[in-house]
């Protein structure tokens, strides 16, 4: 199977050094030796953020390493499954397919079978009806006449279904969403989702450090374009 | 040829289920069983929109399936050829190359040869000279001193050549363009091209449903970032 | 090694013609026969711009050709190494990895070893302290409370280290950065970096022609979204 083999290959530090000794050095000292050890985020959260960014940007070359790192840092297979499902909606189906292609073989290698994955149609978390009513009414008023289809599926599939699936905590689902938005330059959508993330328990310090993590994995410009919006969200909140 | 083999491989529903039973379920029920059956767009138009989005985002993993689906839904080989050529200009040459790599083998498999493809230099559709004069004058006034090269090629290669090639109807060419703009987050370019699309015969209902289609294939944020601009275009027009 | 083989393959003009005779024709006449011969930029600069755009957009399919073209047009191996390192920071680590995967084999084929690559930790160019003090103070004031981590690494790793590495001239480093920003739609970051590029010696004519080059390799919308910002930068400067 050349395909799986191809996609699963990861560069060694020597490969990197053979093109850029500097990059190998930054990887060892700045990323592995410093960034990942900063205490403002757990290694588990860093894995969730990084994996979300990789899936959002189709970075297949780095996925095998970070999927394994996630599993080694207490991200459950069921959570990885939900992260992919979630990002199918937030980055598009094909992005999720690229991730499936890689992760299916890692799950096989580690003996992770269906019994450790979320049910297709599980019992959902309870819906916060007043909050969803307000969200739906605002979107309907704004875009109901622009795309009734989008408005329909946003309610039925996303907020009354996907977000209520129990195998990824709402706070983590928000962290995945915000990471993907920053990673793909979707600045206009950050305000709503960062607010929701903080309502779901993401702290200011964690959001702040997520930006630091994403700078290395998505590039400085993504983060600098996001920071003014993050600043406005922080300024608008008590917590 | 590991290359072709690699890129042509498509995930099975069982592959998807082995990582996310939920995603397999959404694919069957929401996308195949519901979205594609909505009557506001033909299956042919959905194929054009989806294929444009995939090419715009280098989603090679999903291309074989949707190229075949397009051929099975009355998108002519000559039209697929023109879609790729069009997107070379609207997404960059390398995006078109990724598509060529995959589609050349599908054309070979289906016995589609040069005689069914558009001529390199065909007789062009007639130019709407007053309209092109206004477009060219506006761009020259705005950007002539910023990049004379861009202004030059925009007229000579795009509006006086590419857009007049006869093997893809102007309305379809516009649908391809608008789909690619939404798929790549090029919000600032939607106003002009959606207006042009509607001048070329794309209806409000079709544009609205194109957003619905794109939500699944490019992710919700792309569509939510586009909707305010679509709203403004709709508000500015009689039709 | 199916992987390297896969990624190194480049389409032939006949492959392109088998899907789009038009695209083969545009490639020969407009790009090879016209664009690359325009005198406003050297072939070397066009290689730097194109390679930066390809890395910024993970366009692996076109990289082998343009890496070789760059080496054949006086871009030094040490400069290619620095371009990749630079773009690790400006596009994210995984983008650099995709480039490493391809370039390592080209370096091997051409016998380019460690002795022709920049040191991991070289003697740095002198820091323009007043300028860096102003930059750091502005970023600290703006974003110090939003992400202390981003602000910290921006100073320590980027402006007091990466930008001072001696094997890529500051003017070229700026050209790489601006090309990547335009290629990835990071419009909000162009103002600062285009100004810096022109401070570093990039002329107005070169910046203008870089837009022309990028139109073909990243698509017209990227360039049209960038031009209003470029216009503002040009208007704000004497040179």
Residue range C181-206, pLDDT digits in tens: 999 999 999 999 999 999 999 999 99
How far away is chain C from the Cα of A231, in angstroms, using its nearest Cα? 6
Residue B3: its pLDDT value, please? 38
Q: Is the confidence at residue A200, as pLDDT, over 60?
A: yes
How far away is chain A from the Cα of C19, in angstroms, using its nearest Cα? 23
Residue B5: its pLDDT value, please? 38
Read off the pLDDT band of C239 (50, 70, 90): confident
Chain segment A40-90, per-residue pLDDT in tens: 999 999 999 999 999 999 999 999 999 999 999 999 999 999 999 999 999
Per-state percent for chain C, helix, strand, coil, to nearest 5: 75, 0, 25
Residue A80 makes CB contacts below 8 A (sequence gap 6+) with A51, A67, A70, A71, A103, B19
C residues 33-62 near A, CB within 8 Å?
Answer: 58
Residue A83 makes CB contacts below 8 A (sequence gap 6+) with A48, A51, A52, A55, A168, A176
More reliable by pLDDT, A5 or C11: C11
Which residues from A are below 8 Å from B208, CB to CB? 146-149
Query: Does the beta-carbon distance from B88 to C222 stay under 8 Å?
Result: no
Q: Mean pLDDT throughout B155-168?
A: 98
Q: What is the pTM of this model?
A: 0.96
How far away is chain C from the Cα of A3, in angstroms, using its nearest Cα? 8
Which of C41, C61, C187 is most worth mutating to test chain B (most B CB atoms within 10 A of its CB)?
C61
Query: Does the beta-carbon distance from A221 to C120 stay under 8 Å?
Result: no
Q: How far apart are CA A45 and CA A210, in angstroms?
A: 9
What 3-state DSSP class applies to C150?
helix
Closest CA to A84 of A14, A9, A173: A173
C127-130's contacts with Cβ under 8 Å and 24+ in sequence apart are C127/C160, C127/C164
Intra-chain end-to-end CA distance of chain B, in Å: 51
Residue C9: its pLDDT value, please? 60
Helix H, strand E, coil C: the string for C181-229 is HHHCCCHHHHHHHHHHHHHCCCCHHHHHHHHHHHHHHHCHHHHHHHHHH
Query: Does the beta-carbon distance from C153 to A30 stay under 8 Å?
Result: yes
Q: Mean pLDDT throughout A152-179?
A: 98
Which residues from B are below 8 Å from A154, CB to CB? 215, 220
Closest CA to C35 of B181, B189, B147, B122: B147
Residue B238: its pLDDT value, please? 86
Q: What domains does chain B contain, in order, with CATH numbers?
A: 2-116+167-235 (1.20.1290.10), 128-166 (no CATH)
Q: Mean pLDDT throughout A133-151?
A: 97
Q: How many CB atoms lie within 10 A of CB A221?
A: 26
Instruction: Establish if A12 touches chain C: CB-CB under 8 angstroms.
Output: no
Phi, psi of B189 (to 5 degrees): -100, 0
Q: How far apart are CA C27 and CA B93, in angstroms?
A: 9
B107, B142, B149: residue with CB nearest C19: B107
Instruction: Establish if C4 touches chain B: CB-CB under 8 angstroms.
Output: no
**Average pLDDT score over chain C:** 95
C154 and C135 in contact (C-beta within 8 Å)?
no
Chain segment C28-41, per-residue pLDDT in tens: 999 999 999 999 99
How far away is chain A from the Cα of B85, in angstroms, using its nearest Cα? 22
B11, B18, B31: residue with CB nearest A97: B11
Query: Does the beta-carbon distance from A153 to B212 stay under 8 Å?
Result: yes
Q: Is the confidence at residue A203, as pLDDT, over 70?
A: yes
Q: How far apart are CA C224 and CA C211, in angstroms?
A: 9
Residue B9: its pLDDT value, please? 60
Q: How far apart are CA B56 and CA B181, in angstroms?
A: 8
Which residues from C are below 8 Å from A212, CB to CB? 147, 149-150, 153
Q: How far apart are CA A223 and CA C139, in angstroms?
A: 13
Residue C177 makes CB contacts below 8 A (sequence gap 6+) with C86, C90, C193, C196, C197
Q: Is the confidence at residue A159, as pLDDT, over 50?
A: yes
Residue C5: its pLDDT value, please? 39
Chain segment C79-95, per-residue pLDDT in tens: 999 999 999 999 999 99
More reliable by pLDDT, C2 or A57: A57
B residues 63-122 near C, CB within 8 Å?
Answer: 80-82, 84-85, 87-101, 103-104, 107-108, 114, 117-121
Q: How far apart are CA C61 and CA C58, in angstroms?
A: 9
Instruction: Establish if B237 touches chain A: CB-CB under 8 angstroms.
Output: no
Chain segment B57-92, per-residue pLDDT in tens: 999 999 999 999 999 999 999 999 999 999 999 999
Concatenating the DSSP letter of every residue in C68-130 gives: HHHHHTT--HHHHHHHHHHHHHHH-HHHHHHHHHHHHHHHHHTT--GGGS--SSPPPPPP-HH
Q: How far apart are CA B208 and CA B233, in angstroms?
A: 12
Q: Is the confidence at residue B7, as pLDDT, over 70?
A: no
How far away is chain B from the Cα of A59, in angstroms, using its nearest Cα? 12
How far away is chain B from the Cα of C214, in angstroms, using its nearest Cα? 8
Which residues from B are below 8 Å from C219, CB to CB? 87, 89-92, 95, 184
Query: Does the beta-carbon distance from C16 to B119 stay under 8 Å?
Result: no
Which residues from B are below 8 Å from C218, CB to CB? 91-92
Residue B10: its pLDDT value, please? 77
C22 and B120 in contact (C-beta within 8 Å)?
yes
How far away is chain A from the Cα of B221, in angstroms, using its nearest Cα? 6
Chains adjacent to C (≥3 CB pairs closer than 8 angstroms): A, B
How far away is chain B from the Cα of C34, in angstroms, using its nearest Cα? 11
C233 and C211 in contact (C-beta within 8 Å)?
no
Q: Is the confidence at residue A2, as pLDDT, over 60?
A: no
Q: How far apart are CA C212 and CA B155, in angstroms?
A: 13
Which residues from C are below 8 Å from A209, CB to CB? 147, 149
Q: How far apart are CA B22 and CA A221, in angstroms?
A: 34
Chains adjacent to A (≥3 CB pairs closer than 8 angstroms): B, C
Instruction: Establish if A148 touches chain B: CB-CB under 8 angstroms.
Output: yes
Residue A238: its pLDDT value, please? 86
How far away is chain C from the Cα of A124, in angstroms, using its nearest Cα? 35
Closest CA to A222 of A93, A105, A84, A49: A49
Phi, psi of B52 (to 5 degrees): -60, -45
B216 and B66 in contact (C-beta within 8 Å)?
no
Helix H, strand E, coil C: the string for chain A is CHHHHHHHCCCCHHHHHHHCHHHHHHHHHHHHCCHHHCCCCCHHHHHHHHHHHHHHCCCHHHHHHHHHHHHHCCCCHHHHHHHHHHHHHHHCHHHHHHHHHHHHHHHHHCCCCHHHCCCCCCCCCCCCHHHHHHHHHHHHHHHCCCCHHHHHHHHHHHHCCHHHCCCCCHHHHHHHHHHHHHHCCCHHHHHHHHHHHHHCCCCHHHHHHHHHHHHHHHCHHHHHHHHHHHHHHHHCCCC
Q: How far apart are CA B159 and CA B155, in angstroms?
A: 5
Q: Is the confidence at residue C143, as pLDDT, over 80?
A: yes
Q: Which two tokens stand for residue C233?
A: 């930068």
Query: Does the beta-carbon distance from B224 to A108 stay under 8 Å?
Result: no
Closest CA to C53 of C28, C74, C70, C78: C70
Query: Does the beta-carbon distance from A149 to B212 stay under 8 Å?
Result: yes
Which of B57, B78, B98, B100 is most worth mutating to test chain C (most C CB atoms within 10 A of its CB)?
B100
What 3-state DSSP class applies to B166?
coil
Residue A9: its pLDDT value, please? 60
Q: How far apart are CA C67 and CA C102, in angstroms?
A: 9
How far from the centroid of its chain's Cα atoms is residue B33's Cα? 23
Read off the pLDDT band of B239 (50, 70, 90): confident
Q: Is the confidence at residue C3, as pLDDT, over 50?
A: no
Which of C2, C6, C18, C38 is most worth mutating to test chain B (most B CB atoms within 10 A of its CB)?
C18
């Amino acid at each position: 199977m050349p395909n799986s083999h191809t996609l699963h290959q990861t560069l060694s530090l020597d490969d990197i050094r053979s093109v850029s000794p500097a990059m190998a050095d930054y990887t060892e000292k700045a990323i592995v030796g410093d960034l990942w050890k900063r205490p403002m985020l757990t290694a588990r959260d860093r894995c969730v953020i990084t994996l979300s960014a990789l899936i959002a940007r189709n970075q297949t070359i780095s996925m095998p390493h970070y999927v394994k790192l996630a599993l080694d840092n207490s991200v459950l297979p069921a959570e990885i499954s939900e992260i992919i499902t979630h990002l199918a909606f937030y980055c598009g189906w094909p992005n999720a397919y690229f991730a499936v292609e890689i992760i299916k073989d890692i799950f096989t290698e580690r003996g992770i079978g269906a019994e450790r994955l979320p049910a297709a149609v599980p019992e959902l978390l309870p819906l916060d009806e007043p909050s969803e009513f307000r969200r739906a009414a605002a979107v309907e008023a704004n875009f109901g006449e622009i795309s009734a289809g989008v408005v329909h599926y946003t309610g039925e599939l996303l907020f009354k279904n996907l977000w209520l699936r129990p195998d990824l905590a709402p706070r983590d689902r928000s962290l995945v969403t915000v990471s993907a938005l920053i990673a793909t330059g979707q600045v206009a959508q950050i305000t709503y989702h960062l607010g929701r993330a903080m309502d779901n328990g993401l702290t200011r310090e964690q959001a702040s450090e997520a930006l630091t993590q994403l700078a290395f994995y998505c590039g400085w410009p993504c983060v600098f374009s996001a920071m003014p919006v993050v600043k406005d969200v922080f300024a608008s909140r008590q917590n």
